[in-house]
Amino acid sequence: MVASKRKVKGRTPGLLSHTRSPHLVTNKSKPGLSAKTTASIIRTHHQLQKAHAQAVKSGDQAKAAEIQKQIEANGGLKKYQVASITGQSAERGGDSSRVLVDWLEELRLPGAKKGKGADDGDQSVSRCVYDLLEVGALSTTNACSQRRYLSVTRIDLNSQSPGIQQQDFMARPLPKSDDDRFDIISLSLVLNYVPDAEGRGEMLKRTCQFLRATAEDASERPTPCLFFVLPAPCLTNSRYLDRPRLARIMESLGYVLLRDKVTSKLVYQLWKWTGKPQGKPQKFAKVEVNPGPKRNNFCVVLK
């Protein structure tokens, strides 16, 4: 059966190829880029990245080089980032770090107060500042950057501003002491950028090395914690991953779920790191958990 144009247009929402990061505020958007164009740039970039990772994995250097050329011909990471910013609108969710700060405030992180610089003049709390590592940062003015109780270190594979270090989180030198660790790590729409399942598992594992251990007297606090955002279909419509399986993966690394929010487009989660993995170290292979023809193949493998 040939799918009609209308059917293609009225897309199946659960397919990853139809998602994009819909939460960046577009007040500064370039009006020239239509939603369709930005979605297409993002989708193509993800597909090519994935094909490139597969070619590298299979040792096909010629194919990898060819795909790399295509990635560059399509504008590369730079164009993808522009599309990520310009293709989004506040009505579609806005800045995801608003969810993070709302949760930190709701969970009564000591010193965390609502609003910009809300701890000004409050003598009753000694000033608490928490170190946040924002991986995959595209902005220096989002909600988490506007809280005085957060000191934000921003990194991205391609820095768009002097306030963002150009750095691959996977190549960031491992901490030598707690001075190099963080209270909070944010991976907003970053895990799904990683083109292969093993790489995603490695990224999750690596977060544990960058978080400060919980002090004995601070067990009620939400920190140290990991905030992440994923396109909803990664967890709601994947053959290989759903929320229970992700929870088992995270718990095996020592995380416990504090907050979880699912919208039609995105899943937001906040995980506290206990420093104590539950049980023996576990491996998670690529296992089908949700069979079905209209599902995507998003997967996290932990070796």
Question: Which residues are documented as binding site for S-adenosyl-L-methionine?
Answer: 136, 156
Amino acid symbol at 277: P
C-beta of 249: minimal distance to ligand SAM in Å?
18
C-beta of 276: minimal distance to ligand SAM in Å?
26
Pick from 14, 16, 19, 21: which binds ligand SAM (CB under 6 A)? 21
Q: Which residues pair with 296 in a beta bridge?
A: 238
Q: What angle do helix axes 197-209 and 243-252 make, rounded to 10 degrees?
A: 40
Maximal CA-CA distance, the chain? 70
- Binders in 218-277 for ligand SAM, by CB under 6 A: 229
Q: Would you state the structure tokens that stand for residue 298, as one six-digit string?
A: 């998003």
C-beta of 5: minimal distance to ligand SAM in Å?
28
Q: Which residues pair with 42 in a beta bridge?
A: none
Q: Which is nearer to ligand SAM, 113 or 205 (CB)?
A: 205
Q: Which is nearer to ligand SAM, 33 or 155 (CB)?
A: 155
C-beta of 198: minimal distance to ligand SAM in Å?
14
How many residues sit close enough to ligand SAM to count as binding (CB under 6 A)? 21
C-beta of 288: minimal distance to ligand SAM in Å?
26
For 295, phi then psi, to 5°, come to -105, 165
* Cα separations in angstroms, 25 against 79, 96, 246, 249: 17, 10, 28, 32
Q: Which is nearer to ligand SAM, 111 or 169 (CB)?
A: 169
Q: Would you state the structure tokens that stand for residue 233, as one six-digit string?
A: 């279909």
- Binders in 189-208 for ligand SAM, by CB under 6 A: 189-190, 193
| Site map (CB under 6 A) of ligand SAM, residues 47-86, x = contact | ------------------------------x---x--x--
99 binds ligand SAM per the rule CB under 6 A: no
Q: Would you state the structure tokens that stand for residue 260, as one six-digit string?
A: 């979880």
Q: Which residues pair with 133 in a beta bridge?
A: 153, 185
Q: Which is nearer to ligand SAM, 211 or 221 (CB)?
A: 211
111 binds ligand SAM per the rule CB under 6 A: no
Stretch that binds ligand SAM, among 50-58, 166-174, 217-225, 271-279 (CB under 6 A): 166-174
138 binds ligand SAM per the rule CB under 6 A: yes
158 binds ligand SAM per the rule CB under 6 A: yes
Residue nearest to ligand SAM (CB): 136
Q: Which is nearer to ligand SAM, 19 or 252 (CB)?
A: 19
24 binds ligand SAM per the rule CB under 6 A: yes
CB count within 10 Å of CB 301 equals: 19
Spatial CB neighbours of 78, under 8 Å, sequence gap ≥ 6 = 158
Amino acid symbol at 136: G
Strands (E) located in the chain: 130-135, 150-156, 165-166, 184-188, 225-231, 255-262, 266-273
Pick from 26, 38, 145, 188: which binds ligand SAM (CB under 6 A)? 188
Q: Would you state the structure tokens that stand for residue 18, as one six-digit string?
A: 């139809």
**Any long-range contacts for 116-119 (C-beta under 8 Å, 24+ apart)?**
116/146, 116/147, 116/148, 117/146, 117/147, 117/148, 118/147, 118/148, 119/148, 119/149
Residues that bind ligand SAM (CB under 6 A): 21, 24, 77, 81, 84, 96, 135-136, 138, 155-158, 168-170, 188-190, 193, 229
